[in-house]
Amino acid sequence: MSKGMKRIVSVAGVLCAVVGHHAYAGGFQLHEQSATYLGTAYAGTAAAADLDASTTYYNPAFLVQMPNNQLVVSGVYIRPRSKLYDASARSDIGAIVNSNPTTKPSGNAVVPGLNMSARISCDWVLGLSIGAPYGLSSKYQATSIARYMATTSKIETMNINPSLGYRINNQWFLGAGLDVMRLRATLNSAINFGAEGYVNNYGDAWTYGYHVGVGFQPTRDTKMGLVYFSKYFPHVSGYVKAVAYPLAAKPTTLTSDITLPDRIVYSISHQYNDKWQAVGDLEWVHWSTIKTLRLNYNNGTYSSENLSYENTFRLSLGAMYHYSCAWLFKAGFMLDQSPINTLHRTARLPDSDRLWLALGAKFKLNKFVSLDAAYSHLFFKNSTIAQSGNVPGDTAKKLYGNYHSSADLVGIQLTWNFV
């Protein structure tokens, strides 16, 4: 093993422990495995438009184009703003909930990322990525009008992804990666069957998937990439804390099975001249694999939410301006569909279609170190909620209202080249 590869493995051992204990995400599907493409609204990912070690995750086929061993460490801060207003609700027994009709759930989060690459031979390159491909974070106050549908909702993931890239010839490249993901979930809500209480659900699971990619470079200035990310099939198990539960036999443990969607990403990058570069992404996500969220309890009862997610597309377009050898500027926008329709919107994830606008910059400090910074603002389509209880004996609870949401994302990144 070369000295550079030994240093990468040593750093990975330390950072894997750090990311493993702090992997935390906001949203549900996350693009932020690095901050490299935050400035283009994640356009150009599968074509390695701004080539670095994060292609380990986005499309491992382009690992073979890495000029040297590399380490990339990133963090993206997500600050969502959401307001439920003009709301009305009923409790589990159908009583009117006398709470403020306006409430603002919180859910700030930081998404860390670690990506590395190490050349094995002329035609083979090894990569390792550690990040959070899925996540959810929202919290309503204990007295919120939405509390009987949701209080705390949190999904945390950590994905460990070793990948290999292979050069077929100077135009065609192949890559594949194994995805080993840890998932932890917290799904809490208040209950009131005559007395105020709560049911708090906690679960975790290990699950496995893979992704495979192909890269094509027909000319020096044009690159295209296509990558497939497989489904995950986590079997979640955990425990329950319940107070004022309506049955004498309270649930104490739970299990749940869910299928996380597979998806396909196509990207293109074209260098028009020595200054301007255009990039694009088109992604299809198989969200219809998720129909319900059901928690099975050990007392014979269950909790269920009807989700009925729909398949979605994402379109990202961007540009990069190579100002000098040291400076690279980026901009982009994204049209991102939500899998949630109005009939099945829930308080846990009151998502809607959104528009991203993004700016970013990269500064090459020297041959060893580069720094990235980027900012994106998300405009969500205003939406409504009309959610009802979905379990026999608990259909009286209701939540009606309107949501207005936006979000800001700020990313920073350090790239270290072992040359």
User: CA gyration radius for the chain?
Assistant: 23
Q: Are 162 and 128 in contact (CB under 8 A)?
A: yes
14-55 pLDDT per residue, tens: 444 333 333 322 238 999 999 999 999 999 999 999 999 999
Taking residues 385-405, report their average pLDDT. Answer: 92
Residues 6 or more apart in contact with residue 392 via CB below 8 angstroms: none
User: Which pLDDT value is given to residue 240?
Assistant: 97
Q: Residue 255: which pLDDT band, with cuts at 50, 70 and 90? A: very high
Side-chain-side CA neighbours of residue 118 (13 Å)? 17
* pLDDT value of position 24: 29
Instruction: Show Cβ contacts of residue 273 under 8 Å, excluding neighbours closer than 6 positions.
Output: none
Q: Which residues pair with 96 in a beta bridge?
A: 90
Query: Could you state, in order of their start, the residue ranges of all structural domains in the chain?
Result: 3-418
pLDDT of residue 14: 42
pLDDT tens-digit map of 156-178: 999 999 999 999 999 999 999 99
What pLDDT was estimated at residue 390? 85
Q: Residue 300: left (phi > 0), alpha (psi -120 to 50), or beta?
A: left
Q: pLDDT digit string (tens) for 349-358?
A: 999 999 999 9
Closest by Cα among 412, 409, 417, 419 to 25: 409
CB 175 within 8 A of CB 212: yes
Residue 5 has pLDDT above 80, yes or no: no
For 223, counting Cβ atoms within 10 Å of its Cβ (0-12 exposed, 13-18 middle, 19+ buried), the class is buried
* pLDDT value at 2 more than 90: no
pLDDT of residue 87: 97
Tell me if 116 sits within 8 A of 72, measured CB to CB: yes
Distance of CA 169 to the CA centre of its chain: 33
3-class SS of residue 188 = strand
Percent of the residues in the chain that have a pLDDT greater than 90, as a whole number: 88
Looking at domain 3-418, which CATH architecture does it have?
A: Beta Barrel (2.40)
Mean pLDDT confidence for 333-348: 93
Closest C-alpha among 389, 295, 408 to residue 346: 389
Quickly tell me which residue has 């065609």 as its tokens: 172
Query: Average pLDDT in the 234-246 region?
Result: 95
Which phi and psi angles does 308 have, rounded to 5°? Answer: 50, 55
β-strand 312-322 against 124-131: which pairing, if any? unpaired
Instruction: Please report which confidence band the pLDDT of residue 395 belongs to, taking 50, 70 and 90 as the band edges.
Output: confident
Q: What stretch of H or E contains 265? A: strand 263-271
Judge residue 407's burial from the number of C-beta atoms within 10 Å of its C-beta, 0-12 exposed, 13-18 middle, 19 or more buried: buried
Torsion of CA 139, 144, 147, 148, to 10 degrees: -160
Residues 6+ apart with CB under 8 A from 21: none
Distance (Å, whole) CA 41 – CA 45? 10
Mean pLDDT of the chain: 92
Q: Can you give the pLDDT at residue 97?
A: 95
Q: What's the pLDDT at 341?
A: 87
- 259 pLDDT more than 90: yes
Ramachandran quadrant class, 198 (left: phi over 0; alpha: psi -120 to 50; beta: rest): beta
Q: What integer is the mean pLDDT of 357-382?
A: 97
DSSP 232: B
pLDDT tens, residue by residue, 90-148: 999 999 999 999 999 988 889 999 999 999 999 999 999 999 999 988 999 999 999 99
Which tens digit of pLDDT belongs to each residue from 58-98?
999 999 999 999 999 999 999 999 999 999 999 999 999 99
| pLDDT value of residue 394 | 83
Q: How far is CA 280 from the centre of its chain?
A: 19
